[in-house]
Amino acid sequence: MTNETAAAFGPILLVDDDETLVSATARRIRLALPEVTVEAFADGTTALRATAGRPLGLALLDVDMPIIDGFELCAALHRRQPELPVAFLTGSSPKHTSEVGAIAWLQKPVTTEQLLLTIRAYALRSS
């Protein structure tokens, strides 16, 4: 991914209620793709407030979260930005991605390689 592609791509939204996991995942993405902006949050409500009015490039969402779960957060993000690609990061059983409006369903623990493949696959399609 070039700097031009990253600039056109938009920030990656990462939301997981496990603060240690969200911090470590954001760090892995930033180290591997320093040209990409990662906005990481430990809850959906804060993520929605912080990103209001700004386009995103990709959302990586945990499914099982309190208050707003990943599916509700996905729906809220799609009301704002219908074309936003969403990948779920979860320990739950995978569902068909089309059922939940997702481009991918990544089983935890997610390897750095899986994350990067998902990010790059979408970035290359959208740029």
CB atoms within 10 A of CB 124: 11
- Report residue 108 as tokens: 């935890």
Mean pLDDT score, 62-90: 94
* Element housing 28 (H / E): helix 19-32
Residue 127 pLDDT > 60: no
% pLDDT > 70, the chain: 84
Residue 4 pLDDT > 60: no
pLDDT digits (tens, 9 = 90+) for 87-109: 999 887 666 566 677 888 899 99
The pTM (predicted TM-score) of the whole model is 0.89
Query: In terms of CATH, what superfamily is 3-92+99-126?
Result: Response regulator (3.40.50.2300)
Q: Which of 11-15, 35-39, 89-93 has the lowest mean pLDDT?
A: 89-93
Better-predicted residue by pLDDT, 30 or 9: 30
* Element housing 104 (H / E): strand 104-107
The reported pLDDT for the residue numbered 124 is: 54
The full set of domain ranges for the chain reads: 3-92+99-126
Chain-centroid distance, C-alpha 39: 9
Spatial distance between the Cα atoms of 42 and 25, rounded to a whole number of angstroms: 12
Q: Which of 3-7, 17-21, 28-32, 58-62 has the lowest mean pLDDT?
A: 3-7
